[in-house]
Structure 1
Amino acid sequence: MFFNTVLVVLTDLAARFLGSAIFRKHFHLVLSVLVMFGPALSFWVSQHSVFAKKTHFLYRIFLRSGWGWTCIFVGSFVFLLSFSIRRSISLSIRHLSRLGVAGGLWVGFCKLLDLLENTTGSCYERLLNSPEVTNGQPLLVLREGASKSECLRAGMLWRGYEVSEDVFLLCLCCLLLAEEIAVFGPYLKLGGFSGGPLRILFLFCVLLLWLWIFLLLCLLAYFPQFPTQLLGGALGCLSWRGLYQCWYRLGPSWYCPGRPGQGLLNTKTNEAAAEDKLNHNQCN
């Protein structure tokens, strides 16, 4: 009973905060500020910290599979919420299709970024035995005709026009999480059924959102790469704006899955209003 009470209190507070108009309007601005000024944290953090190593388990377990973790938790929450309201598989699939669209966009952009880096890049070989050193680093000799894969397999360096895919992914996942789970607050206000499994999934999604924000700050502070990280963050924000602020606002149709909660919260509101009207007429 105690743990259930704690769960209800925590999820109610988180749902009220994430569903508030202030959070919905300004979260993307806060994320943009973090990406722009986050590299400045490198002047204060210690490079001897455990987070300064790319082998840290948070990077290995979560960052490399960031989209998978997002799909698992957000997909489970969206499906359980939509199915518990309408009991319609087709409606649940329509809401889940937003994850498929975002995943396709993520894969497509990654392939385009790899193509851009391959097209604009060149292969360099380190001269480890060279007596000439520039800025504490050995000289690099250009190797013509090598592709990126061949260059990396040979142990050489590939330098090209890069956009940080990690920052792009984290920004996109944060904004997607904020959009998808923000409907839980209005859902609770309407008196929707909120059992333990749904609240636990919601809480996991909230924790995942904070984890992505933390990993984003770690990348910006311990591995600053300007302007590649800024471009990655901008691409993530533009992807979110194109999907959730433009396309999904067109409404549910064969070519558009609609916004989070559309067809769920509106339907519940209408049903509740109709029931209140019916009760009022019966009393009269």
Structure 2
Amino acid sequence: MILNTALVVLTDLAAQVLGNKLFRQHFHLLLSAALVFGPALSLWVSHHSIFAKRSHFLYRLFLRSGWGWTCVFVGSFIFLLSYSIRRSLLLSFRHLSRLAVAGGLWLCFCKLLDLLENTTGSCYEPLPAGPEVTDGQPMLVLKEGESKFECLKAGMVWRGYEVSEDVFLLCLCCLLLAEETAVFGPYLSLGGISDAPLRILFLFCVLLLGLWIFLLLCLLAYFPQFPTQLLGGALGCLSWRGLYQGWYRMGPSWYCPGRPGQGLLNIKTRNTEEEDALNHNHYN
């Protein structure tokens, strides 16, 4: 009984925050501010911290498979919420298709960024430590005619024009989580049925959002790479704006999955005018 009460209180509070109009309108600005000023945190953090090592289990367990974790929790939440309201597999799959679109976009951009690094990069062979070392860094000798795969396989260094894929993924996942979970607040305010499994899934999504924000700040503070991280974050924000603020606003059709909650937030507990007003406020 106590655990159930705590679950209801926590999820209600989180739903109010994520469903708040000010939060939805300014969350991307908070991420943008973190990207611009986050590297300044490197002046205050300790580089002997456990988070200053790329081998930390949080990076290995979550960062390398960030899209998979996002799909598992957000996809489960979307499916359970939509199916519990409408009992329609077709409608549930239509809402789930937003994850497929975002995943396809992420894969395409990763391929393009990898191609960019390959075409603009060169291979360098580090010289052994000796009098050539400058500022603690070994001197690099250019090796002509090497591909990136051959270069890295030979233990040499590849230098090209990079855009941080980790920051790109984290920004896209944060914005996607904020958009998809924002419907839970209006859903509860309309008197929607919210049993324990749905609330637990929503809470996991909120915790995952907090984890992605934490890992983003860790990358900016412990591994600052300006402007590659800024470009990665900008690409993530542009992807979100093109999908959720552009394409999905066209309404559900055979070529558009529609916005989060569209076709769901009209539970018959109030009159139609109130429902339409709530939907309008949620999406604008």
TM-score with structure 2 length normalisation? 0.94
Cross-structure match for 2:148: 148
Q: What pairs with 1:211-226 in structure 2 (closer than 5 Å)?
A: 211-226=211-226
CA deviations on 1:258-277 (whole Å, 9 max, x unpaired) are 000001103x25x7427x9x
Cross-structure match for 2:281: none
Q: What pairs with 1:74-89 in structure 2 (closer than 5 Å)?
A: 74-89=74-89
Q: Secondary structure at the match of 1:123?
A: strand
Cross-structure match for 2:278: none
CA deviations on 1:167-189 (whole Å, 9 max, x unpaired) are 00000000000000000000000
Distance in 2, matches of 1:149 and 1:215, equals 28
Cross-structure match for 1:37: 37
CA deviations on 1:80-114 (whole Å, 9 max, x unpaired) are 00000000000000000000000000000000000
Distance in 2, matches of 1:160 and 1:135, equals 22
Distance in 2, matches of 1:20 and 1:138, equals 52
Distance in 1, matches of 2:116 and 2:253, equals 34
How far 1:132 sits from its partner (Å)?
1.4
Distance in 1, matches of 2:139 and 2:65, equals 35
- Tell me the amino acid that sits aligned with residue 190 of structure 2: L
Distance in 1, matches of 2:238 and 2:135, equals 37
How far 1:136 sits from its partner (Å)?
1.8
- Tell me the amino acid that sits aligned with residue 48 of structure 2: H
Distance in 2, matches of 1:114 and 1:67, equals 18
Cross-structure match for 2:271: 273
How far 1:129 sits from its partner (Å)?
4.7
How far 1:133 sits from its partner (Å)?
1.9
**Dislocated runs of 4+, deviation >4 Å:** none
CA deviations on 1:38-94 (whole Å, 9 max, x unpaired) are 000000000000000000000000000000000000000000000000000000000
Cross-structure match for 1:191: 191
Distance in 2, matches of 1:139 and 1:131, equals 10
Larger Rg: 1
CA deviations on 1:17-49 (whole Å, 9 max, x unpaired) are 100011001000000000111000000000000
Cross-structure match for 1:158: 158
How far 1:216 sits from its partner (Å)?
0.2
Cross-structure match for 1:233: 233
Q: What pairs with 1:46-195 in structure 2 (closer than 5 Å)?
A: 46-195=46-195
Structure 1 spans left out of the alignment, 5+ residues: 277-284
TM-score with structure 1 length normalisation? 0.94
Cross-structure match for 1:27: 27
1:121, 1:160 within 8 Å by CA — same for their partners in 2?
A: yes
Q: C-alpha root-mean-square deviation of aligned residues, in Å? A: 1.2
1:121, 1:158 within 8 Å by CA — same for their partners in 2?
A: yes
Distance in 2, matches of 1:138 and 1:206, equals 44
1:130, 1:139 within 8 Å by CA — same for their partners in 2?
A: no
- Tell me the amino acid that sits aligned with residue 80 of structure 2: L
Structure 2 spans left out of the alignment, 5+ residues: 275-284
Distance in 2, matches of 1:54 and 1:168, equals 17
How far 1:138 sits from its partner (Å)?
1.4
How far 1:131 sits from its partner (Å)?
2.1
Distance in 2, matches of 1:105 and 1:5, equals 40
